[in-house]
Amino acid sequence: MTTVAGLLEQAAARLATDLGLAKREARLEARVLAAHAWAVTPAWLIAHDTDALPTEQAAAFDALLARRLAGEPVAYLTGSREFFGRPFVVTPDVLIPRHDTELLVERALAQIPPGRPTTVLDLGTGSGCVAITLALERPQARVTAVDRSPAALAVAQRNAALLGADVEFLTSDWFEALAFRRFDCIVGNPPYVAAGDPHLSRGDVRFEPAAALASGPDGLDDLRHLIEAARDHLVPGGLLLLEHGYDQAPAVRALLSAHGYPRSRSWTDLAGIERVSGAEVSE
Ligand code: GLN
């Protein structure tokens, strides 16, 4: 009979071979999947590593492992991903929150003064991770979040309820449902991958909603639209902050200038990549 440690070792070896994961990552994934399959904590796995496993439990783990080996993202299998230190429910209806996007949140927080009733709009909220984090970090801010996918909004609403965040959610194709409303700060992580980018056919992204990833031949279709349309939804002096692809910062700054936003700038992530660009509209 297999022990917990034995099963985890076999699983890690298969994850490393089949998915090309580094050994360390493979071992971590094996533990995450086992903890989920058996509804135990990672600490339990260590404390029980020499336990023999009942067949039923081994089978539950095998089923989950098979799905992972077929490429399904860990976050969709466990239904959860951490963002800015909080757990978010994720389903295949939403993009899996990425560490990169924490830069967008950090930049927005730097601009949203605590204790003042700033209005914030999050475009294409998906899991809600950006809007909900901003609402929780800045309780005085009034945060509105839109997404055109009702299924995504249902996930975002669930996350807001679970984390106790007060966010107004609206089904809207970008600004469509917002009529003449204006905000102090507009943030967004729109789709920005070029259609046909080989990146779309590799790894986790194959299982994520295409509409949340790809955006026209150069990946800039949605960014172009948002930069143009956001002007009519910002108060004078309001700030637009957008996440974009690793090589799109110059193009995004050029779009901002072309649409009359003075002094656009970009911010780098921990890897030194310009990941977020933004500008204030004139007073
Ligand atoms: N950063 C994501 C990726 O490269 C793309 C997210 C997006 O398009 N907004 O997979």
Rounded distance between C-alpha atoms, residue 77 and residue 64, angstroms = 7
The atom of ligand 1 lying closest to the CA of 191 is 8
Q: Is 126 in the pocket of ligand 1 (CB under 6 A)?
A: no
CA-proximal residue: ligand 1, atom 9 (nearest):
191
Q: How far is the CA of 212 from the centre of ligand 1 (A)?
A: 8
Q: Phi/psi of residue 270, each to 5°?
A: -65, -25
Give the model confidence (pLDDT) of 29-45 as tens digits.
Answer: 999 999 999 999 999 99
Q: Which two tokens stand for residue 11?
A: 């699983």
Judged against a pLDDT cut of 90, whether residue 54 lies above it is answered with no
What pLDDT is stored for residue 149 in this prediction? 98
Cβ-proximal residues to 153 (8 Å cutoff; 6+ apart), any chain: 125, 147, 169, 171
Dihedral sign computed on CA atoms, order 129, 190, 105, 78: positive
Q: How far is the CA of 133 from the centre of ligand 1 (A)?
A: 19
What pLDDT is stored for residue 230 in this prediction? 97
pLDDT band at 282 (very low <50, low <70, confident <90, very high): confident
Judged against a pLDDT cut of 90, whether residue 103 lies above it is answered with yes
What pLDDT is stored for residue 188 in this prediction? 98
Q: Is 25 in the pocket of ligand 1 (CB under 6 A)?
A: no
Q: Beta strands 274-280 and 234-243: pairing type?
A: antiparallel
Rounded distance between C-alpha atoms, residue 33 and residue 77, angstroms = 8
Q: How far is the CA of 191 from the centre of ligand 1 (A)?
A: 7
Rounded distance between C-alpha atoms, residue 175 and residue 282, angstroms = 20
The atom of ligand 1 lying closest to the CA of 204 is 10
Rounded distance between C-alpha atoms, residue 62 and residue 56, angstroms = 10
Judged against a pLDDT cut of 90, whether residue 1 lies above it is answered with no
Q: Is 188 in the pocket of ligand 1 (CB under 6 A)?
A: no
Cβ-proximal residues to 184 (8 Å cutoff; 6+ apart), any chain: 112, 118, 119, 120, 234, 235, 238, 239
Give the model confidence (pLDDT) of 190-245 as tens digits.
Answer: 999 999 999 999 999 999 999 999 999 999 999 999 999 999 999 999 999 999 99
Q: Which two tokens stand for residue 109?
A: 């927080």
Judged against a pLDDT cut of 90, whether residue 283 lies above it is answered with no
Among 96, 193, 252, the mutation site with the greatest number of ligand 1 atoms within 8 A of its Cβ is 193
Rounded distance between C-alpha atoms, residue 39 and residue 32, angstroms = 10
Q: How far is the CA of 142 from the centre of ligand 1 (A)?
A: 26
* % of the chain with per-residue pLDDT over 90: 95
Q: Among all chains, which residue has been given the structure tokens 């034995």? A: 6
